[in-house]
Chains A and B, each alone.
Chain A
Amino acid sequence: MHILVCVKQVPDTTEIKMDPITNTMDRSSATTIINPYDAHAVEEAVKIIKQYGGKVSIISMGPPKAEEVIKKCIETGADEGYLLSDRVFAGSDTLSTSYIIAMGIKKIMEIEPIDLVFCGKQAIDGDTAQVGPGIACRLGIPQLTYVEAIETFDLKKNVVVLHRKIDNGYEVVQSKLPCLITVEKDINELSFSPLTNMIKAARFTPVTWGFNDLSGDLIHLGLKGSPTCVRRIFPPKQRAGGELLKGSEDEVVKMLVDKLKGGIRKWQI
């Protein structure tokens, strides 16, 4: 089985500092990491390959520095890595990004067929969850998003049965292969990488493809190929502050209870 995992290098949004005047991200303050959901996708792919045999390839789009996240995936146990990197890709929105990644995947498929494409459910910088469905759509394969468990593979029938999270529960879905799966963190626990993988990763260089290596059309790329654009950025609206209750602990507790008890009585019913 050949599993391809799409990964993204993202700024660690829990560490981001914003410049309050320009409303831009202070890039020097942000460390980059593998998108946490993608890490679980790689883990799952490696786990499946251990059971069913085959290999795991990684694809990422980004600046040359994004090579770091591909190396990280090699540590986890991936076998191959492809980086799509070109200045003309910059400024792509989700529609354009799915176009570029789908082109890369099609090129890999010419080298060797792919049975499964994995993605994280969304990236923590954009939080759109749109690129996964976009890629599936462009490849013409089923999309199975928000997957929290894979039940079985039936390689004879060429199907997978899995659990897809829905609001208020999950659905059990069967899909033909190849298909694209986006994963929730619940799907597995990340494990520690064995030392041999770390050594392999240190020496690893991914295959890098630019626009000229792919058979695409420039009008679908970057800013030109992106229907959406950011009109304005602004700080989130702050709620107006309220009242600081002052006094001894017993006094403030009494003050609070007096203020709230009427409301609570109403809301309970």
Chain B
Amino acid sequence: MKRQTKTTSKSKATVLGSEDSFRMLVESVTDYAIVMLDPEGHVVSWNPGAERIKGYTQNEIVGKHFSCFYPPEAVQRGVPEQELKAAVKDGRFEDEGLRVRKDGTQFWANVVISVLRDQKGNVRGFAKVTRDLTERKQAEERIQQQSREIMELSTPVMQVWQGVVVAPLIGSLDSERTQQFMERLLDRIVETNSPVALVDIMGVPTVDTQTAQHLIETVSAVRLLGAQVVLTGVRPAIAQTLVHLGIDLSGIITRSSLSAGLLVAFEVLNLQVVSKIASR
């Protein structure tokens, strides 16, 4: 019994000492919002990281309920309370989601809520650590933007002559890529005022049903603009696929090579290639 009291006072002293150090630690952290909540979810303590990430000063936020950090729909659905319940049940709760700053702007956050219990096991409150993932999200968005740019670079639509754009497609075409290609081709045709679009698919190994559908749609859409597609480089394998899919290619001008397609373009534009060497 005596020993226990001794241990208690010893640990009390240790706890007091570590409380100061702990406070120093928490106060020095600016990358994470370290916030203490009472058992009902009101803010009890606030650190510089919390002010930086969420925008509120200590005076403004202490005493307020932590649901003000959540977007309105989340509050309506009772998300903050659910998270506290989960922390009580499992000891901790971790989530990535949208949170709201003081100025109303939303940001993507990683949040860990840990339940704080006294020695008897009663819930004394919660520790909530929040990390602003905005930078990580921006990095992810940059990568996605770069993939888009790579996709665009790999399906360029180039104006090779007044009135002719050429689009050499290379690689396998999925539905997404073909749709984006269609939109870009149409934009370029309007931009450059080109009545002829040479679409070369020599570099496309296979075509699935959806992609074939999109290609046919592309041809129809180009016609609606007042231009026409000349499809070149149709490999036998693709021709077979298109026939099996019941796709009627009779309305589309096709040529085996890009250069043959170019001759068609010149015909449409009423142009002629004449050799410089005068023939007698």
A pairs with B: no
Partner-A contacts on B (CB < 8 A): none
A: residues with CB less than 8 A from B are: none
